[in-house]
Amino acid sequence: MAWDSTRTVNWGRLTREWLVYAIVMSIVFVLLLRDNVTAGSIAGLVASFPMYLLFGGILAKMGYQRKTLSDLRKQTPARTPRASKGSSSSSSNSAASPRRSRPAPTSRTTTGPSQHRSSKRKKR
């Protein structure tokens, strides 16, 4: 993507995202670094604001735009609740979605409680 000076930058969104980050980091400072919070850590948090705006603005001018949560929700297909096993609606759903076939039995699969034990275990 090339630089395009006509592309708009959503400064309000960038500012809101940084504010969320700053609030979360402030909570982390208070909870985890109670005794070690210095003026330098606060200054670093404040200094991250113009850097975030600068990099976000450059990326926006180059055409990068992250999707919003509402965009992601629109892309996700609607989920339907699963029908119970004894329900008659499951037969109508089976035509719409193919069911997986049962895998072939192997030597490690059991046949239930009537399975015979090996002779090694009987000797004990």
Residues 7-27 pLDDT 10s: 889 999 999 999 999 999 999
Please give the pLDDT value at position 55.
95
Average pLDDT over residues 85-114: 66
- The enclosing H or E element of 94 equals helix 89-96
The residue written with tokens 């979605």 in the block is 97
Residue bearing the bigger pLDDT, 88 or 17: 17
Please give the pLDDT value at position 112.
62
Three-state secondary structure call for residue 84: coil
- The enclosing H or E element of 116 equals none
Please give the pLDDT value at position 97.
62
Residue bearing the bigger pLDDT, 21 or 86: 21
When mean pLDDT is compared across 12-16, 24-28, 36-40, 115-119, the lowest value belongs to 115-119
The residue written with tokens 């009987």 in the block is 122
User: Is 123's pLDDT higher than 80?
Assistant: no
How far, in Å, CA of 66 to CA of 29, rounded?
28
How far, in Å, CA of 12 to CA of 108, rounded?
60
Average pLDDT over residues 66-77: 84
Please give the pLDDT value at position 18.
95
